[in-house]
Structure 1
Amino acid sequence: MRVGLNATCLNDRPSGAKQRFIGIYGAFFEQLPEVQFVIYEPRDCSVHRWFDALPNLAHKETPIPSEGRFGKYASGKNYWPRAFRKDAFDIFEGFHIPLVRSPSGKTIMTIHDVRGLRDDVGMLSRAAFKAVLRKSLQNADHVVTVSDAMKQEILDFYPGADISVIYNGLDAGDFSRINEQQLTEFKNNNALPDSFALAVGHFEPRKNYLHLIDAIALLKQRGFDVPLLIIGNNSGERERVETRIEKAGLSSQVTIMSGLSDEEVRCAYQLCSLFICPSSYEGFGIPMLEAMAAQRPMVLSDLPVFREITEDQSVYFDANNVEAMANAIEVALTDTLQRTKMIEYGNERIRDFSFDKLAGQLADTYKALLYG
């Protein structure tokens, strides 16, 4: 069997898509040594270097940039017809839209989210996204997505789609390998308090950090000070968040960090007293898995996907209700029984997200598509 993987949307920037590709497909390559995999790389990232050298893994550099819609379309339009004349595949999988369909074999599309369908997206952008998504779904023989909630969103838009759900994953062992010296150095180097809440995610509107800052300010008005650490790279929203922090008088209470290593982020999880995810929209939510692996309680916005991943075992709040968010944070920091319950649940639940287990599910999906 020959499998082509269109990884031209990936680059070295931290993302859930990158973490999923490295974790699940790294295990996938090793589980199926009889399958020949070919990774098509963007011109600005050597994706194959994320993996160990394997005899069944090859790569091809393309002229396609990892970012920029027009550049990707223009370079891909010329590149893919030539590439497919040279290479035929039993399965060709793409990880972004518009989907590139192979003229041979079956074509799979992985979808992480469909945020372009949301009402808060501009009318023209939403119309364009709908057209491209519909065409991509028509061209796909099968769709893989990251949650049942995401599957339902896709089916609401395109009822005939053939969809499998394979969760994102995590190597929980990465957290257990953090030692006391690393924790002490990270805490001291960044002057972190003994107790603080943590939020993780790039600075963009859907992460809902403005409401989180308002919730922290409300708690302060109640006499309940909650130091907050936000870790994330800027995707256009950081300046607004910093302005909100300053206006709320929280400059000494809220810390922002960007550009951290994976090890440093794990230290932050291990040191925090509470993980908070206030997002207004997500297709999955890898930080929830990271909080489970770090054995930390969490409070989450009341999204269907968050309830799915945590099986209704967390504390939830309306993402648009600052008071509800503040109440949830206070409960999770003061209710010892609830905190213990969440930690114990997370210790068990995280086992469902091992990369080996998820790679096995992906292998089953491939086999079912080829052999019925």
Structure 2
Amino acid sequence: MPVEMSRAPARTVFINGRFLGRPVTGVERFAGMILNEIDSTLASAQAGRFVVLAPQGVARPAGLRAVGFQNVGSRGGHAWEQTDLWRASKDGVLVNLCNSGPVLHGRQLTVLHDALVYRHPENFSRAYGAFHRLLGRLLAKRANLATVSDFSRQELAKLLGVDAARIGLVPNAVDHVLGVEPDFSVLARFDLQTRRFFLFVGSPAGNKNLANAIRAFVALDRPDVALVMVGGAASTFAKSLLGELPPNVISTGRLSDAEILALYRKAAALVFPSIYEGFGIPPLEAMALGCPVIASDIAPVREVCRDAVIYFDPYHVASITSAMRDVVDETVDLAAVRERGLARTHDFSWARTARQVLAMIAEIDRGNRITNRTSAGFHP
């Protein structure tokens, strides 16, 4: 049911819609879900006060009702953000949901999802990394900041010289998977109807630690079990690591949400071997769909998943192999793992996170700095 905000904002609230022209990764998923929830939350009295601003050529999202939409400016990319977006939004409150925003804007909320560009610069080109590290430091001086986990909040506070209490918390959620009908035809396409398989969902970026996951699976030496890797570049990465892929290592390329959900439903377990994350959405997605998770024993995964997954040491191949073997040999109580996983997902809701974003917007509109008290609904 639409609700009134506790106080109508005096200024127009502009939402940076640059993300709408990009492929959907975890960051774009976050932004899209927050936009949808804000749109469905706003009462009719608020219609017109919230407006998405996007570069030329970016289409209005289907289904927007209360939130307006405008294409502005003539540039693209970061040049659009720093000039066209700033000019169009400078008299209002600006909300940037995807790691960047115009540094000249004095009344903005910017969500920095993690500190990856500082902690793992090798993942990025030299120019990209240098620009985003500088942009983050400039935004830390000008913008109100938020992030998706307490782990990332502490990381960003340390690296950017910001009081952690001044970084709001707006966690990812998982209920987006519940309204999607799985497309089980993907199982036949990859000959998985009757095979047991582990699932990896993500990119082969260095922090994702896919190399150790593949080595661990090969060491498992179970010809009756497959490792299915979902992601656009996973096949190229794996071939450079192993030469030709073993018959039981399958790279699917990019898949639709419905196809990925079908794999979650049928997988023996999701393998999440990251050595660094800001949050980690795939474990939550798997847990919500009844798929056991074996995951890296690192702080952000512990924060999000608690006791709902089987942990391994991501730096030791033998530890990952041991967790895989526990699953295929069923030496752990997988039913209990599934039950704990489902229970943990109930703590995350896109509607709750959107309400936290709206609370921060109201604070900024009143001329206040946000604090982590606006994140009281989430307990890491």
Percentage identity across paired residues of the two chains: 23
CA distance in 1, matches of 2:96, 2:69: 16
Map of 1:23 onto structure 2: 33
Write the mapping of 1:9-48 to structure 2, written as runs, cut at 5 A: 9-33=19-43, 34-35=45-46, 36-46=49-59, 48=60
One-letter identity of the residue aligned with 2:160: Y
Question: Paired residue for 1:331, among 326, 340, 363?
Answer: 326
1:230 aligns with 2:234: no
Structure 1 SS opposite 2:308: coil
CA distance in 1, matches of 2:356, 2:98: 21
CA distance in 1, matches of 2:180, 2:257: 13
Query: CA, structure 1 residues 261+79, in 2 after alignment: closer, same or farther (shift >3 Å)?
Result: same
Query: CA, structure 1 residues 287+97, in 2 after alignment: closer, same or farther (shift >3 Å)?
Result: closer
Map of 2:136 onto structure 1: 133
Map of 1:3 onto structure 2: 13
Query: CA, structure 1 residues 4+123, in 2 after alignment: closer, same or farther (shift >3 Å)?
Result: closer
Map of 2:157 onto structure 1: 155
Offset, 1:268: 0.8
1:165 aligns with 2:169: yes
**Structure 2 length as normaliser, TM-score?**
0.83
Structure 1 SS opposite 2:21: coil
1:211 aligns with 2:219: no
CA distance in 2, matches of 1:62, 1:128: 22
Map of 1:109 onto structure 2: 110
Contact 1:97–1:136 (8 Å) recurs in 2: no
Task: Spell out, residue by residue over 1:28-59, the C-alpha distance to the aligned partner (whole angstroms, 9 max, x if none).
Answer: 1221233321112133532x32x413144233
The total of aligned residue pairs comes to 349
CA distance in 2, matches of 1:297, 1:175: 20
CA distance in 1, matches of 2:148, 2:95: 15
Contact 2:195–2:224 (8 Å) recurs in 1: no
Map of 1:306 onto structure 2: 301
Offset, 1:344: 0.4
CA distance in 2, matches of 1:172, 1:8: 21
Offset, 1:329: 1.4
Write the mapping of 1:338-357 to structure 2, written as runs, cut at 5 A: 338-357=333-352
Structure 1 unaligned residues grouped into runs of 5+: 67-71
Query: CA, structure 1 residues 286+153, in 2 after alignment: closer, same or farther (shift >3 Å)?
Result: same
Contact 2:99–2:111 (8 Å) recurs in 1: no
Query: CA, structure 1 residues 53+239, in 2 after alignment: closer, same or farther (shift >3 Å)?
Result: closer
Contact 2:56–2:73 (8 Å) recurs in 1: yes
Structure 2 SS opposite 1:227: strand
Structure 2 SS opposite 1:366: helix
Offset, 1:124: 5.8
Map of 1:69 onto structure 2: none
Structure 1 SS opposite 2:135: helix
CA distance in 1, matches of 2:285, 2:267: 12
**Structure 1 length as normaliser, TM-score?**
0.84
Query: CA, structure 1 residues 165+316, in 2 after alignment: closer, same or farther (shift >3 Å)?
Result: same
Task: Spell out, residue by residue over 1:307-348, the C-alpha distance to the aligned partner (whole angstroms, 9 max, x if none).
Answer: 111113322222221111111111233345431222001111
What's the C-alpha RMSD, in Å, of the aligned pairs? 2.6
Structure 2 SS opposite 1:54: coil
Query: CA, structure 1 residues 124+55, in 2 after alignment: closer, same or farther (shift >3 Å)?
Result: closer
Structure 2 SS opposite 1:203: coil
CA distance in 2, matches of 1:77, 1:19: 23
Contact 2:296–2:313 (8 Å) recurs in 1: yes
CA distance in 2, matches of 1:102, 1:4: 15
One-letter identity of the residue aligned with 1:42: P
Task: Spell out, residue by residue over 1:146-201, the C-alpha distance to the aligned partner (whole angstroms, 9 max, x if none).
Answer: 111110110111342411111112226636744xxx43x33223211431110101
Task: Spell out, residue by residue over 1:275-296, the C-alpha distance to the aligned partner (whole angstroms, 9 max, x if none).
Answer: 1011122111111111012101
Map of 1:99 onto structure 2: 101
One-letter identity of the residue aligned with 1:113: D
Map of 2:238 onto structure 1: 241
CA distance in 1, matches of 2:350, 2:187: 30
One-letter identity of the residue aligned with 1:215: A
CA distance in 2, matches of 1:276, 1:137: 34
Query: CA, structure 1 residues 240+19, in 2 after alignment: closer, same or farther (shift >3 Å)?
Result: closer
Structure 2 unaligned residues grouped into runs of 5+: 1-8, 369-380
Write the mapping of 1:15-94 to structure 2, written as runs, cut at 5 A: 15-33=25-43, 34-35=45-46, 36-46=49-59, 48-49=60-61, 51-66=62-77, 72-73=78-79, 75-80=80-85, 82-84=87-89, 88-89=91-92, 91-94=93-96
1:257 aligns with 2:252: yes
1:279 aligns with 2:282: no
